[in-house]
Amino acid sequence: MEIEAVLNMDMIGNHFRGGGAETVLNTLRVFSEGPTDSDSRQIARYVEEIGERYVSEIDVDVIMRRDRFGRGGDQTAFNREGIAGVRLVEANEDYNRQHSYNDTFENIDMEYLLGNAKIAAATSATLAMAPSAPVLGGLGRGEGYDAQLTFSPSEGEVSGYVVGVRATTAARWEKLIWVGLPEMVTDRRGREILRVLFPLTAIDDVIYGVSAVGKDGCPSLFSVYTR
């Protein structure tokens, strides 16, 4: 079975004043394993983008860590098999309600649970309707001082492509550039690929990624040039 993403919704309905903090009813945490541009991290960023797009009352807080300290979830087994997965979890945990008789229906905040469930549903539906993520070719210097990105066309109906750019130290895309449908060229092996050229643009100081956008506006996951 081809699995594109695992969204582990584990403890998403609690509103405890965890650790003496105030009740948090507008934040959902998303944990993902590294490295920085792993498939799991791309999914976490996707949950943030799509979740906040369709469920504005909930802020998605991406935590760039596999899980809580010394703990794990059902996504961990998938990660170990090389399958990208993330954990969606409430902002504040009540440890006394975990794996105990206090874990009851009455201790669930249904409104908070509903908002978090909507985020997971929106993410799953959007990803299912989106084109496939582009298969990257190469990132080079073009004529010497240009940024040249090549990639294979995505499967599915595509209205265009978006190039993401960020500093090497940044966690999220800092700039999104709509490039539409780039020119088709033939590589050295005779294969048809797409090419995007940014004149007089450095390739060494930033991270580039490409996402395909479907006819209905659903974006794919980003494919990232890591070397």
Mean pLDDT of the chain: 92
Q: Which two tokens mark 29? A: 């945490």
CATH 3.40.630.10 domain extents, the chain: 6-129
Q: Give the pLDDT confidence score for residue 165 in this predicted structure.
A: 97
Tens-digit pLDDT profile for residues 42-74? 999 999 999 999 999 999 999 999 999 988 899
| Residue type at 17 in one-letter notation | R
Written out in words, the top-level CATH class of the domain with range 6-129 is alpha beta
Q: Which residue do the tokens 């066309």 mark? A: 153
pLDDT tens per residue, range 176-223: 999 999 999 988 788 889 999 999 998 999 999 999 999 999 999 999
Helical (H) or strand (E) element with 150: strand 147-152
Position 142 scores a pLDDT of: 82
Residue 18, pLDDT above cutoff 60: no
- Token pair in block for residue 202: 């450095």
- Tell whether pTM > 0.85: yes
Structure tokens belonging to residue 156:
């599915």
Question: Letter for the amino acid at 128?
Answer: A
pLDDT band at 21 (very low <50, low <70, confident <90, very high): low
CATH 2.60.40.10 in the chain is located at 135-224
Which structure tokens are listed for 64?
Answer: 């760039």
% of the chain at pLDDT higher than 70: 96
Cα–Cα dist 12/117, whole Å: 8
For domain 135-224, the question of CATH label 2.40.10.10 is answered with: no
